Amino acid sequence: MVRHFLKDTDLTPAEQAQVLDLAASMKADRYGYKPLAGPQTAAVIFDKTSTRTRFSFHAGIAELGGNPLIVNPGEAQLGHKETISDTAKVISRMVSTIIWRTYAQAGLEEMAQHSRVPVINALSDDYHPCQILADLLTIREHKGQLAGLTMVYLGDAANNMANSYLLGGATAGMHVRIAGPDGYLPADSVIAEAQQRATETGGSILVTTDPDQALVGADVVITDTWVSMGQEDEKEARAQVFKPYTVTSEAMNKAADGAIFLHCLPAYRGYEVTAEVIDGPASVVFDEAENRLHAQKALMAFLLAESKLATDVRTALS
């Protein structure tokens, strides 16, 4: 069976831990793993702009011995001249992995349904699961564990990052607290799925409009831009709505001693986070950005091995 990674719960708790362990091993031996030797090509398709996702997948595929095929917005027939299903049937005969940054989650699901090779969500309107793997790797590096830690996300809680923190954090056995204003909270279906996962792992879920309730005792404090792609015209109006959720030094002081700050970047200093916090000693945002590379390399190797499409992964997967 071909394995895909379209949202965070596509990995079981044990599998997520296995991918993070492999990512740590790959980080320690950066050029030692070649599951894409051949070289096999991995396609990275962008319907939206990117810095971290583009660079980390391009470099990561090359480091795994493969050939990265980057497709920029508008360069393929996909979505305007050709259906997703026909595209999947064609390109999955040519490449080993399909990585796609797009809008609709349903599009990713359709791509996966018709693909012979793993499909990876490189950000959709609903989830950004590759980012959360990198974040979990970063938290584990700095705090030594995941299960039992309290991870707090403040801001636009109706976006793809909040959804993925709920699902990915619950999978890791973390206590996930999400705080945002009324009207900008996660969908009930996502909360329910996270709660189900947390029940299995010993984690917990709290969704609130009160940032102080979320911050008390937090080990990890996270935010994201208030202006996602396509919302640029609403920037100042959204800034008023989200202002009480800004991560300031005062907010960090409400968290636990030694709390760390994460942001998936790009960041807008003076909006969702102050410069004092993101450029201060609690911030691990550049470790987090680097870990996109290591986490995604491990994810690709894992999916190929589990799909029986790679046999030379020098890991403990077998």
**Is 130 a residue of the active site?**
no
Distance CA 185, CA 317 (A): 38
In the bound state with ligand CP, the residue whose beta carbon lies nearer, of 32 and 230, is: 230
Residues facing 179 on adjacent strands = 154, 208
Question: By CB under 6 A, how many residues form the interface with ligand CP?
Answer: 8
Query: Is residue 131 at the binding interface for ligand CP, with CB under 6 A as the rule?
Result: yes
Distance CA 224, CA 92 (A): 33
**Is 40 a residue of the active site?**
no
**Is 177 a residue of the active site?**
no
The structure tokens listed for 111 are: 């791509």
Kindly give the interhelix angle for 285-306 and 129-143, rounded to the nearest 10 degrees.
120
**Is 101 a residue of the active site?**
yes
DSSP state at residue 33: -
Nearest C-alpha neighbor of 281 from the set 316, 257, 301, 300: 257
In the bound state with ligand CP, the residue whose beta carbon lies nearer, of 185 and 285, is: 285
Query: Is residue 123 at the binding interface for ligand CP, with CB under 6 A as the rule?
Result: yes
The structure tokens listed for 105 are: 């989650």
Query: Is residue 52 at the binding interface for ligand CP, with CB under 6 A as the rule?
Result: yes
Q: Which of 3, 4, 52, 101 is catalytic?
A: 101
Query: Is residue 291 at the binding interface for ligand CP, with CB under 6 A as the rule?
Result: no
220-223/204-208 β-pairing: unpaired
Site string for ligand CP, 248-277 (x = CB under 6 A): ----------------xx------------
Give the binding range for ligand CP (CB under 6 A) out of 47-55, 111-119, 139-147, 172-180: 47-55
Contacts with ligand CP by CB under 6 A lie at: 50-53, 123, 131, 264-265
